[in-house]
A and B are shown apart, each in its own frame.
Chain A
Amino acid sequence: MNVLELTAILGTGACAAGFVGALTGLGGGVVIVPLLTLGLGVDIRYAVGTALVSVIATSSGAAAAYVKEGYSNLRLGIFFEVATTLGALGGAFVAAWAPTNAIAIVFGIALLSSAAFSWQRHPAAVRDAPPDPLAVRLKLTGTFPEDGGTRGYAPRKIPAAFGLMGVAGVLSGLLGIGSGAFKVLAMDRVMRLPYKVSTTTSNFMIGVTAAASAGIYVSRGYVDPGLAMPVVLGVLAGAALGTRVLATARAGALRLFFTAVIVLLALEMVVQGVKGAV
């Protein structure tokens, strides 16, 4: 295989990952790492560096649209970025000395749990309960567009969510993923925010979380321009396409297919990690 063929394969795979990712909210990194390691035999450190870059591309590209439309809560995002960036910093340091097969096993487990979280039905957001005093003090209440008007919401259980965000940050720094599923879990389940606010605010935070470990990855030589180029361009093209067809696509069927792919990849990563083959 030469560089042209590798670029074509990676570009196509990344485009598919960006497309389905934009439709389902399950991100690109979880597909990029197995594609590189299991599919193309790339060392996991190069794979993680490449995935981290693709995650920043997805997040910034999609957040640009969501933020303008008024779904993402900027204060909530920046507040929890304290936890996610600290976690990411720790995760990136651990990644430097952890054995690669251990990283593969943790990756598989994180993948399985994120598939499980994303598949669960989300509970109804609390509408008219009195807001948590801490949320008011931190100015974390907000509104978002719905049915032509706006609807208010107030987050609950902020300390617990803050802790979960720290865990999401560690996984992001360790594995080069966005860990969007964990961030959505913290907002959707723990704080009981509306689903659209959770997913779009998570998307908004992913870029900064990834940037916190990106410097460490680049300086350790994990980020290869030849691998990152097709992945970045593919993910950007796929995500742009995905946001266009969002209205007409049958997201349910796609999501089922994507979850199945992720579960298979996760199991394969764990098996390869245990065998010490990654």
Chain B
Amino acid sequence: MVEAADRRRSRAVGRLLQAGVTLAGGVVVAGAIPYLVVHGFERPDYAVFRGEPRMLRSVTGIVADALSGDSRGILQLGILILIATPVSRVVLLLADFWRDRDTLYVAVTTVVLGILAYSLLGSGFL
């Protein structure tokens, strides 16, 4: 029964998105407190674009920086979790369509995941 399966899928997707947003928000709050304590009275300078330091531009760099306790690294880790939330939702849908042997949508979901993977891998982000 397609309809019942689609309803079940909707609930699973809803729970996953909620969990991702909650986790990302929690990590950002955890990084915000030390960030504001340490950097709160500095003068921000965003008028000229210099780009983030290399460390905050890739997944491995961000994770290493967050683990070292740098507050900017922890904030960036929270943002990574936020970016990963919709991507993991596509993975969940792929697994779920696969379980239902819904070949057409296994194919469609694979294409979307492929484009996302190309973007994430090709940019040197991972």
Contact = CB atoms under 8 A, between A and B. Distances in A.
B14 to A, nearest CB: 4
Interface in B88-116: 89-90, 93, 104-105, 108-109, 111-112, 115-116
Interface residues of B, number: 69
A248 interface: no
B73 to A, nearest CB: 8
Contacts of A6: 44
Top 7 nearest A-B pairs by Cβ distance? A221-B51, A207-B86, A225-B75, A68-B14, A215-B125, A221-B52, A43-B49
Nearest to B3: A143
Interface residues of A, number: 65
A203 to B, nearest CB: 11
B119 A226 contact: no
Nearest to A232: B28
Nearest to B56: A225
B17 A57 contact: no
Given A211-B87, A233-B32, A3 B21 contact: no
Contact of A86 (B36, B39, B58, B115): B115
Contacts of A120: none
Contacts of A85: 112, 115-116, 119
B89 A207 contact: yes
B61 to A, nearest CB: 10
A41 B85 contact: no
Contact of B28 (A92, A142, A208, A229): A229
Nearest to A66: B14
Contacts of B43: 1-3
Contacts of B42: 2-3
B13 A41 contact: no
Interface in A185-235: 207-208, 210-216, 218-229, 232-233
Contact of A211 (B25, B44, B46, B83): B83
